[in-house]
Structure 1
Amino acid sequence: MTEVQESSALSVVPEVGLPAPDFELSNQYGEPIRLSDFRGRNVVVVFYPFAFSGICTGELCEIRDNIGSFEDSDATVLAVSVDSKFALRAYAEKEGYGFDLLADFWPHGAVARKYGVFDAQSGMALRGTFIIDTEGIVRYVVVNPRGQARDLSEYRAALSALSRT
């Protein structure tokens, strides 16, 4: 396991090659979404701090604008924050997101904790991305420090490598 140190909160991040922790969260419409239901497809789980915040919006809009890259790799995007489903629905509608935004609202940050990306001091998820293959195995992990956006080209490279295996 990889350790992440952020704001005095030491967490364990699932390592590449290990099974991804399963979870079930409500999407922006209140529908239950379970990670294990996506077996047979690649999944990109994108944890982000908060809806309507600057860097988060930029990252998710970049995903929205390049969703074809994910679809071409038979990948589903699941974006996770500690916001409520109501805030996520307003956010998705405002920004035109066509992928699921999942509410890790209660118990607060429980899934982010499972993935080692919950900052208990600030009460938010860190910027962590996990690419999970068709068998439920973690194949790519990145956790960026607060204030640093992720690089979409890294997602593309990781998804491309999956399609070659």
Structure 2
Amino acid sequence: MAPTPFPVPGALVRDQHGEPLRLAELWSEGPALLVLVPAAFSTHCTAELGALAYDVDRFDDAGVQLAALSCDPVPALRAWGEDRLYPFPLLSDFWPHGAVSRALGAFDEELGVSERLSLLVRDGRVVWTLRSPAHAPRSLAAHRGALAALAAPG
């Protein structure tokens, strides 16, 4: 895939603690894997993020910041993060509802949720993506493809 500019680097979201974060801050010190999920506490989303949390050291060792984004409000993300102890930020695209997901072409208008999309961003450019239908969770092996993309020449 040819790198493309991240469409909304200045977008302001809130983490699960309500702290504001500009998306570009995620990759300010190295690459970041932004994982969009439809819904906090849902079976597939919990499994996807649980697998990433289990393997977080592999991403840390590669210098990749993990973060998840959904259209859930901050309190729901806080509860989910506290329940599951995710070692990475959970970001709310709640208001304006789905603005970041829409800008990424990953918003389900019918359900009002983010679609399953993962993006590896390095130096403000998307260098790897993974998209999956709502009913098909992304595997940890598929997410490890982001690490392979980092190691690839070019």
Q: Which amino acid is 2:91 matched to?
A: L
Q: Secondary structure at the match of 1:105?
A: coil
Deviates more, 1:33-42 or 1:90-99: 33-42
State yes or no: 1:101 paired with 2:78.
no
Instruction: With the length of structure 2 as denominator, give the TM-score of the two structures.
Output: 0.92
What are the within-5 Å matches in structure 2 for residues 7-86 of structure 1?
16-21=2-7, 22=9, 23-37=11-25, 38-86=27-75
Number of residue-to-residue matches in the alignment? 150
Q: Which residue of 2 aligns with 1:127?
A: 116
Q: Which residue of 2 aligns with 1:136?
A: 124
Deviations 1:42-75 (A, max 9, x none): 1001000000100000001001111011101101
The CA deviation at 1:123 is 0.5
The CA deviation at 1:142 is 1.5
Q: Which amino acid is 1:55 matched to?
A: H
The root-mean-square deviation of aligned C-alpha atoms, in Å, is 1.4
The CA deviation at 1:155 is 2.3
State yes or no: 1:92 paired with 2:81.
yes
CA–CA separation in structure 1 for the residues paired with 2:2 and 2:94: 26
Identity within the alignment, %: 37
Q: Which residue of 2 aligns with 1:3?
A: none
The CA deviation at 1:16 is 4.4
CA–CA separation in structure 1 for the residues paired with 2:152 and 2:128: 15
The CA deviation at 1:151 is 2.0
Q: Which residue of 2 aligns with 1:5?
A: none
Deviates more, 1:139-148 or 1:152-161: 152-161
Deviations 1:133-160 (A, max 9, x none): 1x11111112111110112222223213
Instruction: With the length of structure 1 as denominator, give the TM-score of the two structures.
Output: 0.86
Q: Which runs of 5+ in 2 are unaligned?
A: none
Q: Which amino acid is 1:158 matched to?
A: A
Q: Which runs of 5+ in 1 are unaligned?
A: 1-14
Q: Which amino acid is 2:97 matched to?
A: H
Contact 2:127 2:149 in 1 (8 A): no
State yes or no: 1:148 paired with 2:146.
no
Do the aligned partners of residues 138 and 16 (structure 1) sit closer, same or farther apart at CA in structure 2, a change above 3 Å counting?
A: farther
